[in-house]
Amino acid sequence: MIAYLSLGSNISPRHEYMEAACRLIGERVGKVLRRSSDFFSAPWGYQSDHEYLNIVLRVQTSLSPKALLQVTQRIERELGRTEKNVYADRTIDVDILMCYAEDGTPLIVDSSELTVPHPRMREREFVMVPLREVFEEQNVVS
């Protein structure tokens, strides 16, 4: 499966949290095929003085979407995320944006724990800009 993951951090040292999350994703999820450029943004949906560092990863994994969610949530906890409140500063946030089967078929998940594709990704420039960078690059013929 190919998965697109959005990562964000706005608690210092945010670059270190981001690097640790990327390393753990590579170790526990699968091969990181592409990483977007860094994208900086204001908090979305709440007020904070702490700007976010955001990236998107394209990852090849043998995990199912549900297993991927469990692994990414464990990584968040290990890196100091204590609650899953989307309207609060955080050390690291990992969201599953989209998943594709090996044949390129989009995977759809709609459960109480996980919705794929991510239902609010199109509302968020901090997701869409790095996602387009990573997604479009895979379709470029050299």
Plot region of 36 (φ>0 → left; ψ -120 to 50 → alpha; else → beta): beta
Please indicate whether residue 93 is annotated as part of the active site: yes
- What the chain holds in terms of domains, given with CATH numbers, is 2-138 (3.30.70.560)
pLDDT of residue 135: 80
Which of these is catalytic: 23, 90, 110, 120?
90
Please indicate whether residue 110 is annotated as part of the active site: no
pLDDT of residue 136: 78
Which of these is catalytic: 49, 93, 103, 132?
93
Which of these is catalytic: 28, 81, 89, 132?
81
Please indicate whether residue 90 is annotated as part of the active site: yes
Residues 6+ apart with CB under 8 A from 39: 53, 54, 55, 126, 129, 130
Q: Worst-scoring range by mean pLDDT, 64-68, 82-86, 128-132?
A: 82-86
Helix (H, G, I), strand (E, B) or coil at 65: helix
Tens-place pLDDT, residues 90-127:
999 999 999 999 999 999 999 999 999 998 888 889 99
Tens-place pLDDT, residues 21-76:
999 999 999 999 999 999 999 998 889 999 999 999 999 999 999 999 999 999 99
